[in-house]
Amino acid sequence: MIKLLLSIALLTPIASAQQTLSTMVGRNRVLLIFTPTALDIRYARQLHAFEDHEAELQSRDLVLIPLAQQPGPGNTVPVLRHLRPPLVQADEQITFRRRFHISPGDFVVVLLDKKGAEKLRSTTPITLTRLIRTIDANPH
């Protein structure tokens, strides 16, 4: 029972999709990771690419938002525990997917700058180097 309550608490969203992004504009860059399921190997590879680099990501004001069509066990991946991303409800994920034209079965990584403009889109996991170079080339 406690394990179930903990899982529910980890999956409780902190804001609506629009509020999530609007509160970050001007303050944060946002990396949206769309995945069909939290168990997708591409999603695992993407998160693994950022492990042990949380300080670099935080120093660049990056907020990571995972958007799994079928959620997994919560923030059990080390990088997610450290970065503490906002969690988004299923209906809010639909809003994100529509806004960025992402089909439910697609894996897509989207980087937004501090103004909310899309700076990078990839259908494969991106390397930390590519992410950092893209961020550093777009200081705003």
> pLDDT tens digit string along 1-23?
433 333 333 333 334 555 566 67
pLDDT of 31 strictly over 90: yes
CB atoms within 10 A of CB 13: 16
Q: How far is residue 123's CA from residue 90's CA, in Å, rounded to a whole number?
A: 21
Alpha-carbon distance of 117 to 9, in angstroms, equals 31
In the chain, what are the domains? Answer: 2-137 (3.40.30.10)
Tokens standing for residue 4: 């179930």
Count of all residues that appear for the chain in the document: 140
pLDDT on residue 2: 37
Sheet with 62-70: strands ordered across: 62-70, 29-37, 108-112, 118-122
